[in-house]
Chain A
Amino acid sequence: MGEQRRVSLAPAYILHRRPYRDTSLLLECFTRDHGRVGLVARGARRARSRLPGTLQAFQPLSLSWQGRGDLATLVDAELAGTPARLAGTRLISGLYANELLVRTTRRQDPHPELFGHYTRLVTALALEAGAEGVLLRLFERDLLTSLGYGLPLGHDAGGAPVQPGIAYRYDPDTGFHPLAGGAAGRGIDGAVLLGLAAGETGAAGSRAARELMRAALAPHLGERPLYSRGLYRQQLRAADARGGPSDTGEDDSACQ
């Protein structure tokens, strides 16, 4: 399907790579202008290839490819910026973001603004700027917006502005419904919704925000669990065995 085409120097990140045949790599890429793209890097696993060091996740790249259909052939790959190094749980948070993108976006469906959000997330994770939970919640918020399922954080299902101190119930189809009896008990405080909309650290890092985003993402993820989430939790448990509080300073996984 489609005619033969050539794309030059497209801004991209690699979300995932796996060995293909004897000497090649199969790449799942997230590009700014072409959305998610599947590429074959022929000969990239040969001993003398310079590609494997470049074709790594979380590195800002310029990719050129040609071909038709679902799987095109990589022609060239260059680093487009400083290589990012993600370590420890931040690496797993990055893998989680990659898994989210693979599971929620379609191939050849461009989302330039989402590419921007992803770039900021990866940069912040690499620079250790900000708590992982906060960065991931804001990325999830922006991901949903890019997909066309943005949360109506500013107003309730009836159209009234969301107010702090009032508790809301979230319904994936209709939005936020105010609950009688104030913020006590179940429901999510209006302050958290407004904080999440404004990108405030306290609100975005809260457990309530995590549960809300989980509920909002669930319809787009299908039945299978997210593997990186389990990995994150197991990682924290492995670290906990050390005794004392885990060194992330969080009581639970930052991933959904």
Chain B
Amino acid sequence: MSFSPLVSELMDALRELPGVGPRSAQRMALHLLQRDRDAARRIAAAVTAAADRVGECEHCRILTEERVCALCASTRRDHGVLCIVENPADVYALEEATDYGGLYFVLKGQLSPLDGIGPEELGLDVLEGRFADGGVREIILATNPTVEGEATAHYLAEMAHGHGVNVSRIAHGVPLGGELEYVDAGTLSHAFAGRRRYD
């Protein structure tokens, strides 16, 4: 049997979500329509409002409906330190896991010649402008430990050094609670090469 046009349209729309296939889309649509119309209206309103009004922070490119996000607007955080990450989700992960008190900059990607992504696509000219303005003392590189992430980190480091900005990078290596035996060779050799003095 086939669903009515509006119901099919709802299922198609739900399938745009990551991880949602035809079966889950059908289950969600039927649940919303048969059991929970209020939730359906609330979801619709929230999606519309967010899609229309959420943009990105002028300073760090985090998602926000304000011109400047709460982190960048905060007077309690150190505006001289910038942690540079690839994705907005990385900001939330770091905020939960650390007591970092500086600001962030979201690249929304990584340098990748084969994908045609260069420094402009990542907003690095904007970032360099901020280095040139002199407000940034230190950057913390938190790009992903992939080949492209490494290329991005190196580029950023050169750019920062050019403006007298200090550069540090988060450590890469063996996951906590893991066992060396089961760590893949690439990670292990990286961790070994990056060993640190133990005092």
Residues of chain A whose beta carbon lies under 8 Å from any beta carbon of chain B: 15-18, 22, 28, 50-54, 56-59, 79, 82-83, 85-89, 91-92, 94-96, 98-99, 102, 226-228, 230-231, 234-235, 238-242
Contacts and interface: CB of A to CB of B under 8 A. Distances in A.
Nearest to B144: A52
A231 B158 contact: no
Contacts of A240: 162
Nearest to B114: A16
Contacts of A227: 113-114, 116-118
Interface stretch (B6-14, B76-84, B179-187): B179-187
B119 A231 contact: yes
B114 A98 contact: yes
Given A56-B186, A230-B118, A242 B154 contact: no
B150 A15 contact: no
Contacts of A231: 111, 113, 118-119, 151, 155
B185 A79 contact: yes
B193 interface: yes
Nearest to B161: A242
Contacts of B118: 227, 230-231, 234
Interface residues of B, number: 31
Interface string B81-107: 000000000000000000000000000
Nearest to B117: A227
B162 A239 contact: yes
Contact of B154 (A16, A102, A228, A235): A235
Contact of A22 (B18, B147, B183, B185): B18
Q: Which of B147, B159, B162, B183 has the most CB of A within 10 A?
A: B147
Interface string B133-170: 00000000000001100110011001101110000000
Contact of A50 (B112, B117, B150, B184): B184
B31 interface: no
Contacts, number: 96
Given A22-B19, A227-B116, A238-B162, 15 more contacts: A16-B115, A18-B115, A53-B184, A56-B186, A85-B189, A86-B147, A95-B114, A226-B113, A227-B113, A227-B114, A230-B118, A231-B111, A240-B162, A241-B159, A242-B162
Contacts of A91: 147, 150-151, 154
A136 B117 CA distance: 22
A88 B182 CA distance: 29
15 contacts: A18-B115, A52-B146, A53-B185, A53-B187, A57-B147, A59-B186, A79-B186, A83-B185, A86-B150, A91-B150, A92-B113, A234-B155, A238-B159, A238-B162, A239-B162
B186 A54 contact: yes
Contacts of A52: 146
A50 B113 contact: no
A235 B115 contact: no
Contact of B147 (A28, A58, A226, A239): A58
A83 B190 contact: yes
A226 B117 CA distance: 11
A122 to B, nearest CB: 12
Contacts of A79: 184-186
Across chains A and B, which 10 residue pairs bring their CB atoms closest together, nearest first?
A241-B162, A227-B113, A53-B184, A228-B113, A53-B187, A53-B186, A238-B158, A83-B189, A79-B185, A57-B147
A136 to B, nearest CB: 14
B162 A56 contact: no
Nearest to A83: B189
Contacts of A89: 154
Nearest to B159: A238
Contacts of A86: 147, 150
A54 B184 contact: yes
Contacts of A16: 112, 114-115
A163 B19 CA distance: 65
B193 A85 contact: yes
A57 to B, nearest CB: 4
